[in-house]
């Protein structure tokens, strides 16, 4: 079964630096998502992306964050000027966009800000 893949599995970055988290969604999926899970808290929606633009974003997804689909396969999340509180597990997901199709999740990237 095709999977969503994320790289790296663990990223350690100094506070204030920029990070790019990478995702390869399932190839015939059209909608892409980022979620995050701060340790001990619930999984939170960040952003959804369709047809090369953001379709919805949460209040967490402020100017510090951006997403991009730089080529036909990758979907990236960029976090600028990272803060300690950005430390979390970041999950990428994708689906076909049909209302009766569930999202498929990647293994996540654990981001640790020092």
Residue 75: Cβ-neighbour burial (10 angstroms; 0-12, 13-18, 19+): buried
Nearest to 107 by CA among 87, 91, 83: 91
Contacts with other proteins, 52-91, as mask; x by CB under 8 A: ---xx-x--------------------------------x
Interface with other proteins (CB under 8 A), residue total: 26
Closer residue to other proteins, CB minimum distance, 38 or 114: 38
Taking the complex as a whole, the smallest distance from the CB of residue 47 to other proteins amounts, in Å, to: 9
Q: How many helices (H) and strands (E) does the chain have?
A: 0, 11
Taking the complex as a whole, the smallest distance from the CB of residue 41 to other proteins amounts, in Å, to: 7
Residue 99: Cβ-neighbour burial (10 angstroms; 0-12, 13-18, 19+): exposed
Interface positions with other proteins (CB under 8 A) = 4, 31, 33, 35, 41-45, 48, 55-56, 58, 91, 93, 95, 97, 99-100, 102-108
């Amino acid at each position: 079964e095709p999977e969503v893949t994320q790289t790296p599995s663990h990223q350690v970055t100094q506070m204030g630096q920029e990070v790019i988290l990478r995702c390869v969604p399932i190839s015939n999926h059209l909608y892409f998502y980022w979620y995050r899970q701060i340790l001990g808290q619930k999984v939170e929606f960040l952003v959804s992306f369709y047809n090369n633009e953001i379709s919805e974003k949460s209040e967490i997804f402020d100017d510090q964050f951006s997403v991009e689909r730089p080529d036909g396969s990758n979907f990236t999340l960029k976090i600028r000027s990272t803060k300690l509180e950005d430390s979390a597990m970041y999950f990428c997901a994708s689906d076909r966009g049909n209302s009766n199709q569930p999202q498929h999740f990647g293994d996540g990237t654990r981001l640790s800000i020092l």
